[in-house]
Amino acid sequence: MVRAYVGGAGLEHELDRPDDDILSSAHDALATVYRLTVEPEHAALVRWPGSMPQYAVGHLDLLGAIDAALPPGLYVAGGAYRGVGIPDRVREAGTVADRVVRQD
C-alpha cells in the first residue's frame, strides 16, 4: 500500500484537476521514485482541501509561549501544534507522556 499527497500550500489548484489525471500523475511520480513496473490493483482519491495545517513563520515561538502560559500539569498535543503526520503524533505523544511522568 502506498499513499500520496497532492496539492498543499501554493499548489491548491492541483485539486481542481479531474480524478483520473490526479491518480495518473501520482502513479507516475511514485513509479519513478519506487521503480514500480505494474499498474496498481486499486487506486482511490479522497479530496480534503484545506485539511493540512500550514504552519506560519514563528509557529515554534508561538508554541513556546503557549506552553509557558499553561498551568502546571496541563499539556497540549495534536496536528495543530508539532506536525501533522502519524510519526509526528507518535513522537509528540511520547514526549507529552514523559512530561506527565516527570511533572514538568
Which of 101, 100, 83 shows the shortest CA–CA distance to 92? 83
Cα–Cα distance measured from residue 10 to residue 43, given in angstroms and rounded to the nearest whole number:
25
Confidence of residue 2 (pLDDT cuts 50, 70, 90): confident
Mean pLDDT of 13-42: 93
Domain ranges of the chain: 1-52, 59-102
- pLDDT, tens digit, 9 for 90 and up, residues 29-87: 999 999 999 989 999 999 988 777 788 899 999 999 999 999 999 999 998 898 888 89
* Res 98: pLDDT: 95
Q: What is the DSSP letter of 24?
A: H
Residue 34's contacts (CB-CB under 8 Å, 6 or more residues apart) are 2
* Res 91: pLDDT: 94
* Res 87: pLDDT: 92
Is residue 97 within 8 A of residue 76, CB to CB? The reply is: no
